[in-house]
Structure 1
């Protein structure tokens, strides 16, 4: 059985709609609490897929949250192995950081459902499955595209929303994994942030329910296509 390890920073920001897909594809899913685990001892190379999930802190917040430095070191080891790595939101920012790209505050929050603008490369990537379906955005930081990576998508408020680094690394600023059927967990868990930016949770809830079927379908299609083209047995190499 193939294995996937997902580093989680908040209980409800998990693999969402991607988890049943991974199980159907024969993956055994294991979660690791990044805030509690001894990340220095975690096997960064062994899992067939490593996923770094989102969280409401910054990719360079080492002084405030020391585990971030250990998590960045783990990401570096995984990148050196060239085995499949998926980063979502904070996870993508950590990958960008390790690859030498800038990660910085946008000066505002991008929260809510909005479609992506795919680049030419994005239209020829697994993300083409998303089409014009609005996806969930929930972030206040942004990454620059790392050297050697390919920009796949953006939005008007955040030009860099996705990048690929070779065949085995995918960084997503948006929340492809978020399960619209569990939007209430996001609305409660991030209630203070929603209030700070003046959003109405009733509107977000209604959008999530309206988009649920379409989002589940395109997320599964995009992720299954990406996994189909990754190379699990890629040899270890130094960046």
Structure 2
């Protein structure tokens, strides 16, 4: 039987990128919906065998500016209650936290650039990222929801990854990015974020070329392990 995966894309330049390969290799046929699509609000988010929610520059708390956020959160909460396999990346991870009842809010400072994580459970899928610099590009964080296991931290943001059971995984960072040409749009759109952390577009491009391939390779191993451990 065909397994169906649905990607929710919050902005066009934040797609599934490097994660596509291991998800398709695990037998999922992927479809995608943008939050701006006319039919987005009518999609049953509980139906796909796998739901993948990607990043975006908005905050979960900006619901007055983005009416689809509250709509997505309500449907996501039902999916999470059913323990349906769900992966959230950056804004997607924050949406999982919010749908579980946790607070999402601006963090202490921007975290932008390639840096390794502190892995708290080396046997978990996050163990694949041990000592591997991965891309961070965010300024929001979240309280840890009840009943989840914290899997990774960084010096600036202690809540970098968590899971609930085998089927729900939230990643604050971007281990999918490092080979995708859309990264250039990130650099062009948010130069102020680079300046805030003392970097520059040229420095970020150089780091992306040097560290990106290794980050994506490790990210693919992480996702492959997670998919292989999903509960039936």
Does TM, normalized by the shorter one, top 0.5?
yes
> What's 2:175 paired with?
176
Cα contact 1:137–1:175 (8 A) shared by 2: yes
> What's 1:87 paired with?
88
Cα contact 1:181–1:212 (8 A) shared by 2: no
CA distance in structure 2 between the aligned counterparts of 1:180 and 1:189, rounded to whole angstroms: 18
> What's 2:29 paired with?
28
Larger mean CA deviation between 28-37 and 137-146 belongs to: 28-37
> What's 2:108 paired with?
107
Q: Secondary structure at the match of 1:136?
A: strand
Q: How many residues align?
A: 230
> What's 1:134 paired with?
133
Q: Secondary structure at the match of 1:180?
A: coil
Q: Secondary structure at the match of 1:123?
A: coil
Cα contact 1:181–1:209 (8 A) shared by 2: no
Q: Aligned runs of 1:29-68 on 2, under 5 Å? A: 29-68=30-69
Deviation at 1:81, TM superposition (A): 2.1
Q: Aligned runs of 1:174-213 on 2, under 5 Å? A: 174-182=173-181, 183-195=183-195, 197-213=197-213
Let me know the Cα RMSD of the aligned residues: 1.6
Deviation at 1:216, TM superposition (A): 2.2
Larger mean CA deviation between 175-184 and 51-60 belongs to: 175-184
Q: Aligned runs of 1:71-82 on 2, under 5 Å? A: 71-82=72-83
CA offset digits 1:143-197 (Å, max 9, x no partner): 1111000111110011110001111000110012113342323212333543455
Larger mean CA deviation between 206-215 and 47-56 belongs to: 206-215
Unmatched 5+ residue regions in structure 2? Answer: none
CA distance in structure 2 between the aligned counterparts of 1:148 and 1:50, rounded to whole angstroms: 20
Larger mean CA deviation between 191-200 and 52-61 belongs to: 191-200
CA offset digits 1:5-61 (Å, max 9, x no partner): 011011121011011222222211111101334343112122110011110011121
Q: Secondary structure at the match of 2:205?
A: helix
CA distance in structure 1 between the aligned counterparts of 2:70 and 2:196, rounded to whole angstroms: 29
Larger mean CA deviation between 125-134 and 181-190 belongs to: 181-190
Unmatched 5+ residue regions in structure 1? Answer: 234-239
Larger mean CA deviation between 187-196 and 82-91 belongs to: 187-196
TM-score, length of structure 1 as denominator length: 0.90
CA offset digits 1:53-73 (Å, max 9, x no partner): 110011121112111101111
CA offset digits 1:81-125 (Å, max 9, x no partner): 211000111111111111111211013211111100111xx2120
Cα contact 2:111–2:197 (8 A) shared by 1: no
